[in-house]
């Protein structure tokens, strides 16, 4: 609409100048025509500038929208599509080249987990471990966590946050989904026991509070499973509920 208005303005000016030139003679007619052309050219340039500004705004909006959408990317197909559409280092194949914390930091659906691991000071610990199995909550999983619970964990990085993150890590082994099929519990990084149930291709964790969405992702030192919920160890779950309620 803005472009149409500018064109109408330029056309009106052009007609006015042409009528004036006709009344004043041939030489003036040439000058008026040149002036009208210059005005139209200016209108074109202004319209192009406006359109370019609109394109820039759309690009900016798309970028922020893409960042926000990782918290809304929840089902397996959408997660894989997002991962494969990101940087090469964060694709399922690209993650094999780096140790687990670095690999996770390149993955577009693990941004909140990466921030939490960094806050807890666990990057070097995870990267230097010889073998791990990691159940990694996606950004969608973290989006479902009660705000008070998440704030309480982030406010206690070496205590509650480390306990929660450690509950998602099995040290000493890179367990495949076939390996998990023969187990009903796993000993976690912090020593807590994580219940597990495998029924065909469905892997449920922590008494059914979480499920594996994308299994068997390999990094240089870990096998990673993307999961749909953040798991709280039993003791920490009770403590966090008490903190959140203000008791």
pLDDT in tens, 233-245: 987 654 554 444 4
pTM above threshold 0.85: no
Q: Is the pLDDT of residue 67 over 90?
A: no
Question: Do residues 236 and 247 make contact, with C-beta atoms less than 8 angstroms apart?
Answer: no
Confidence of residue 182 (pLDDT cuts 50, 70, 90): confident
pLDDT at 240: 53
Phi and psi dihedrals of 221, rounded to 5?
-135, 10
Judgement on whether residues 184 and 222 belong to the same structural domain of the protein: yes
Q: Are 231 and 206 in contact (CB under 8 A)?
A: yes
Distance of alpha carbon 193 from its chain centroid, rounded?
A: 30
Mean pLDDT of 35-55: 45
Residues 16 and 85 in one domain: no
Structural domain tally of the chain? 2
36 lies in the same domain as 55:
yes
Q: Residue 76's pLDDT is what?
A: 95
Q: 80, 188, 183: which is closest to 133 by C-alpha?
A: 188
Q: Quote the mean pLDDT of the chain.
A: 78
Q: State how far Cα 171 lies from the chain centre.
A: 27
Average pLDDT over residues 16-22: 36
Give the sign of the dihedral formed by CA 54, CA 56, CA 57, CA 63: positive
Task: Tell me the residue range of the domain where 94 lies.
Answer: 76-245
Dump pLDDT digits (tens) for 75-111.
999 999 999 999 999 999 999 999 999 999 999 999 9
Residue listed under structure tokens 């709280």 = 232
Whether residue 129 sits in one domain with residue 207:
yes
Sheet strands (E) in the chain: 132-137, 169-171, 185-187, 193-199, 202-205, 210-218, 222-227
Averaged pLDDT for residues 209-223: 98
Mean pLDDT, range 24-41, rounded to an integer: 46
145 and 218 inside one domain: yes
Dihedral, CA atoms, 212, 208, 176, 98, nearest 10 degrees? 50
Rounded to an integer, the average pLDDT of 172-181 is: 97
Domain boundary among 69, 88, 104: 69
Residue 13: pLDDT band with limits 50, 70, 90: very low
Which residues, in sequence order, are CB contacts of 56 under 8 Å at separation 6+? Answer: none
pLDDT for 21: 38
């Amino acid at each position: 609409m803005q472009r149409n208005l500018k064109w109408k303005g330029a056309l009106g000016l052009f007609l006015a100048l042409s009528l004036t030139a006709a009344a004043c003679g041939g030489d003036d007619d040439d000058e008026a025509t040149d002036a009208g052309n210059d005005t139209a050219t200016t209108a074109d340039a202004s319209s192009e500038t406006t359109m370019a500004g609109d394109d820039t705004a759309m690009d900016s909006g798309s970028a922020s929208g893409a960042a926000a959408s990782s918290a809304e990317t929840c089902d397996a197909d959408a997660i894989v599509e997002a991962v494969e559409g990101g940087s090469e280092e964060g694709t399922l194949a690209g993650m094999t080249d780096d140790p687990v914390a670095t690999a996770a930091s390149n993955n577009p659906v693990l941004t909140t987990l990466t921030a939490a691991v960094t806050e807890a000071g666990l990057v070097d610990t995870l990267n230097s471990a010889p073998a791990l199995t990691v159940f990694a909550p996606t950004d969608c999983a973290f989006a479902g966590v009660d705000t008070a619970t998440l704030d309480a964990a982030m406010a206690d990085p070496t205590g509650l946050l480390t306990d929660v993150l450690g509950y998602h890590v099995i040290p000493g082994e890179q367990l495949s989904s076939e390996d998990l099929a023969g187990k009903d519990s796993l000993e976690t990084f912090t020593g807590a026991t994580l219940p597990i149930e495998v029924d065909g291709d469905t892997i449920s964790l922590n008494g059914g509070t979480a499920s594996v969405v994308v299994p068997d992702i390999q990094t240089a030192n870990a096998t990673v499973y993307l999961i749909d919920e953040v798991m709280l160890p039993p003791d920490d779950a009770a403590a966090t509920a008490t903190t959140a309620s203000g008791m």
